[in-house]
Structure formats: structure tokens, C-alpha cells
Amino acid sequence: MPNRWDPKVIDGEERWSGVGPDSTTLHFENFQKAIKDRKQPVEDVFAGHRAAAVAHLINSSAKLKKPLWWDRANDRIKA
């Protein structure tokens, strides 16, 4: 499991601010360690594909101005 940090409320602030390493930095460190150790990273390629697919689906739906659905089982978009 990669190093994690809990968000903390900083006195005088009215928002959550992160204290510690950036999540992107932790992600890259985990990925590089997985390559070095020849093991699976915490997030595999399939999790990355699904996360990106949702974002692409939202962008396509906005561009086409109509709802789209993702058939995850068949990895297809339905209009």
C-alpha cells in the first residue's frame, strides 16, 4: 500500500488543505516501485482505463448534447 496522508484542517482556513506529499507524486512513486520490483502497482491498467473512460464519456455526452451510457461489461458506449 502506498504512503498515505490524511487531509487536515489548517487553523484560520475555511477549506480542506493537504499536508504532505501530493497524491500524483505518491502514484508515480508507487508505479516506479512496481516496475523496479516487478510487481503489480496499487492501481492497475484496468482501473486507469475505467477512470479515464468515465471522464471521456462525460466529455462526449456534453459535446453531443445528449446522454450516453457505458456498457461496462462489453466496454461499449450506448447512445
Structural domain contains residue 63: yes
Determine, yes or no, domain membership for 37.
yes
Cell matching residue 8: 487536515
pTM of full prediction above 0.85? no
Q: Give the domain range for residue 14.
A: 8-78
pLDDT for the residue numbered 41: 87
- The mean pLDDT value for 19-26 works out to 80
Whether residue 1 lies inside any domain: the answer is no
Three-state SS annotation for the chain: CCCCCCCEECCCCCCEECCCCCHHHHHHHHHHHHHHHCCCCCCCHHHHHHHHHHHHHHHHHHHHCCCCEEECCCCEEEC
Q: Is 3 within a domain?
A: no
Domain contains 2: no
Q: Indicate the number of domains in the chain.
A: 1
Residue 31 lies in a domain: yes
- Is 70 a domain residue? yes
